[in-house]
């Protein structure tokens, strides 16, 4: 017996049931309870946890108990989260709570190793690291400073190999410049000390700007969604070269979020998407090799259940089906 899905039909669509020689068209009703990937209109529910944990511990807890650390899509999410926090058991003297955001990792394309923007050798333009939530993710060298820039701008670049540098004059995006360097068995330049900086300066004229190999990941929440909203981010330079890239929301007011040492302890906020009960109709064709044989209702329902559940592993699914009246059968599960 073979079960084949023909097409998806929404609720309120009138369907005509038809019997063919050795094929039966069934109306299958799928009811999804709770979280549902193909449902629309879901809302975010936030949970304040009044337990002080490190950022990694909080992330693990939220993934295990709910869905993830809090991720916000818009102002309405922010209002909902703050209202929930103010009604929660989090102590009034607490100012910060972990959310699912962290500073993107900087790295040199030549090595892939993490670059510590406040600790490793750098030539940042004054105040440049305050552009944390901007969309610029690639670094330009110009006027003796490093500037965070949009990666799709067309600029010349500096390639390096065996400790030597060369100017690549063709104007390319950052990613195309990296590809061009690799085709020549080199990589976009890495600047590790003052002698490296001086070597690059000698290749440039006037106020010429060029790509370096320093870039960072795009901003994302820990659930993988893009960052489309924040009340602002006020970054703090760490007092020592430690991991201070984890973000906490200011839960006393709507002040900008701030970065903290990831091993510091704060209460935290989890979230999950809550969906209403959703109903979906599928038209399914059941093909019998022997038209005179009886349909095995248990086998068909089990196969349908497994097929639907395997594509919706995180959802609770219930199935029911109806055969044409001429068959005089109505099965339910």
**DSSP string for residues in 231-277:** S-EE----SSSS---EEEEESSSSPPEEEE-TTS-EEEEEEEEE---
The whole-number pLDDT of residue 18 equals 33
| Chain mean pLDDT for the chain | 78
- State the average pLDDT over residues 30-52: 66
The whole-number pLDDT of residue 37 equals 41
Q: Whole-model pTM?
A: 0.62
Question: Do 211 and 137 meet the contact criterion of CB atoms below 8 Å apart?
Answer: no
Question: 87, exposed or middle or buried, with CB in 10 Å at 0-12, 13-18, 19+?
Answer: exposed
> Higher pLDDT residue, 301 or 81?
81
- State the average pLDDT over residues 47-56: 95
The whole-number pLDDT of residue 207 equals 85
The whole-number pLDDT of residue 1 equals 36
Residues in the chain, total: 333
Residues pairing with 120 in the sheet? none
> Higher pLDDT residue, 154 or 278?
154
Query: In this structure, what token pair is assigned to residue 56?
Result: 């990694």
Distance of alpha carbon 189 from the chain centroid: 29
The mean-pLDDT minimum among 7-16, 30-39, 283-292 falls in 7-16
Question: Do 42 and 274 meet the contact criterion of CB atoms below 8 Å apart?
Answer: yes
Rounded Cα–Cα distance for residues 118 and 100 (Å)? 22
Q: Which residues contact 235 (CB under 8 A, 6 or more apart)?
A: 103, 129, 130, 132, 258, 259
pLDDT tens per residue across span 229-249: 878 777 777 666 777 789 999
pLDDT interval class at 322 (50, 70, 90): low
pLDDT tens per residue across span 81-118: 999 998 888 877 889 999 999 888 899 998 878 898 88
pLDDT interval class at 138 (50, 70, 90): very high
Rounded Cα–Cα distance for residues 57 and 236 (Å)? 22
The mean-pLDDT minimum among 84-93, 158-167, 226-235, 290-299 falls in 290-299
Q: Would you put residue 34 in left (φ > 0), alpha (ψ -120 to 50) or beta?
A: left
Domain ranges in the chain?
Answer: 2-39+275-332, 43-103+219-274, 106-216
The whole-number pLDDT of residue 130 equals 73
Domain with residues 43-103+219-274, CATH architecture = Roll (3.10)
């Amino acid at each position: 017996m073979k079960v084949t899905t023909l097409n998806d039909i929404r609720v309120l669509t009138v369907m005509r049931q038809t019997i063919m020689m050795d094929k039966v068209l069934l109306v299958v009703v799928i009811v999804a309870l709770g979280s549902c990937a193909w449902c629309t209109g879901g809302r975010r529910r936030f949970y304040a946890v009044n337990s002080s944990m490190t950022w990694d511990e909080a992330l693990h807890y939220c993934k295990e108990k709910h869905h993830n650390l809090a991720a916000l899509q818009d102002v309405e999410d922010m209002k909902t989260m703050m209202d929930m926090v103010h009604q929660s058991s989090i102590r009034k003297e607490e100012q910060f709570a972990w959310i699912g955001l962290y500073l993107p990792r900087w790295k040199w394309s030549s090595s892939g190793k993490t670059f510590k923007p406040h600790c490793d050798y750098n030539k940042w333009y004054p105040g440049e690291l305050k552009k944390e939530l901007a969309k610029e993710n690639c670094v330009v060298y110009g006027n003796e400073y490093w500037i965070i820039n949009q990666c799709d701008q067309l600029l010349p670049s500096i390639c390096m190999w065996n400790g030597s540098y060369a100017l690549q004059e063709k104007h390319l995006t950052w990613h195309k410049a990296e590809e061009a360097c690799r085709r020549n068995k080199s990589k976009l330049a890495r600047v590790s000390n003052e002698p490296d900086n001086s070597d690059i300066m000698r290749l440039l004229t006037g106020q010429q700007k060029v790509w370096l190999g320093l870039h960072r990941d795009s901003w994302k929440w820990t659930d993988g969604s893009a960052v489309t909203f924040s009340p602002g981010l006020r970054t703090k330079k760490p007092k020592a070269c430690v991991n201070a890239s984890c973000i906490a929301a200011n839960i006393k007011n709507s002040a900008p979020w701030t970065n903290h040492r990831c091993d510091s302890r704060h209460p935290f906020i989890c979230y999950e998407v809550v969906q209403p009960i959703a109903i979906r109709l599928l038209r399914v064709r059941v093909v019998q090799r022997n038209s005179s044989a009886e349909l095995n209702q248990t086998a068909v329902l089990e196969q349908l259940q497994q097929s639907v559940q395997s594509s919706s592993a995180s959802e609770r699914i219930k199935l029911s089906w109806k055969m044409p009246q001429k068959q005089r059968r109505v099965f339910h599960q």
